Structure 1
């Protein structure tokens, strides 16, 4: 029996049109697709009708399938000669556990490939009109997780991030937003620093709420921001406000 292949594929930040051509071709050729919660299900419509579709999504505090079980299925189907697509939201190597899955495939002797995707930090911020770097305002940005599993080592060094990075982009941070805010302010970040919360970035349900670091957790509660949501902290958030202001001026002139 021939050995199959595992394609670890990034599906992009939510808008199905933001997937890469190469990723779309892998979906079209797949025998088995194991897909995550943040994958836009419209993409599954490009798969062959006979392709097996297996949901293995993970929500905060709710895993439909343990990671070990997902990796077992991935290897099991590939060992049967199937082309397995492990379809993941954003980029598979940015908080996507794609590295772990590649190691599992390699350890099992299964050929694999990694197809990059647009990560949410890039896609959602751009969709909301926020440049992560901007001349004269921000020359650096960091992408960081707002929730760290206890077994995965030391906590995030918020003090170093507060001092050394112009723009912070935080994934999976809504549940700990109050603690993150407190840690950054305690580390010297001004409470007046602009913050944006981008909910369902790049999709038709996208919603962006802006405020300041000092009150963003209270604003998030009032506005009922829910996952998936991205947190952007830095002066670049003000560029969005400038763009919106200019758009309003243009509309008024046209009207």
Structure 2
């Protein structure tokens, strides 16, 4: 079954929504939104894409706001399965990184275990797209030959942190930190302690792909202070490529931010 095939009754489609602008949703993703009987949407999904939904489609908010309204993963799984079993075409519209650090895998497994037909329509990953919207290539010929994407939702000294910060600090790659706003100071300190030069450029891009996208730049030693007041969603780029963000931080994001 192709991701471009029409959705069938009693099925679930997990649609990655890109980092925020409806223009970044794939053709297959838009088609799925247009066909859905039920849309489960979180706060990271591009809200403008809901204009594509049918007037009679049911919209269900399943956001997981930090320190705010919270829909459990178990409840989301239950909604997907129950609506599909009722013969409806169900779309889970997620943020763009649903299959990087989100719960997309858990939703796929839950539907499969329940015998519900499910497909994945990947989105544009925020870890690459958001830096690009700020003018930052995560790799650059002759400068850096790779990038490492990590989750910063737990600090380096947390018992549940499984990252090898020594290896990251000496990897020679650009570091892209997702979900790291609250722990940015701790992450920066640990990377410096493990060998990253304190003067290494860094950039925080907040609300990437939204009309109010914001870019703040500093050295890794100072980036946490520079980012005070920033709230999720935000992405941090650490490495020489982050120098480009300083030259582009006052520019309008490259998408026109048009609602559908």
TM-score, structure 2 normalization: 0.88
Alignment partner, residue 253 of structure 1: none
Task: Verify the 8 A CA contact 2:205 2:216 in the aligned structure 1.
Answer: yes
Q: Which of the residues 78, 82, 88 maps onto 1:76?
A: 82
Task: Verify the 8 A CA contact 2:108 2:118 in the aligned structure 1.
Answer: yes
Shift of 1:156: 2.1
Task: Verify the 8 A CA contact 2:20 2:46 in the aligned structure 1.
Answer: yes
Alignment partner, residue 253 of structure 2: none
Shift of 1:165: 4.1
Q: Deviations over 1:158-201 (max 9, x none)?
A: 22111114101111101001110111011101111100000111
Mind listing any 5+ residue stretches in structure 2 that lack a counterpart?
1-7, 251-260
Distance 1:165 1:227 in 2: 27
- 1:218 pairs with 2:225: yes
Task: Verify the 8 A CA contact 1:148 1:155 in the aligned structure 2.
Answer: no
Alignment partner, residue 200 of structure 1: 207
Q: Deviations over 1:15-41 (max 9, x none)?
A: 111111100000000011001111121
Alignment partner, residue 232 of structure 1: 237
TM-score, structure 1 normalization: 0.89
Bigger Cα Rg: 1
Distance 1:168 1:211 in 2: 15
Alignment partner, residue 127 of structure 2: 121
Task: Verify the 8 A CA contact 1:16 1:43 in the aligned structure 2.
Answer: yes
Query: Structure 1 stretch 97-106 or stretch 83-92: which is displaced more?
Result: 83-92
Q: Secondary structure at the match of 1:118?
A: coil
Aligned pairs for 1:8-47 within 5 A: 8-47=14-53
Q: Secondary structure at the match of 1:59?
A: coil
CA RMSD of the aligned region, Å?
2.2
Higher fraction of helix: 1
Query: Structure 1 stretch 109-118 or stretch 35-44: which is displaced more?
Result: 35-44
Shift of 1:3: 6.3
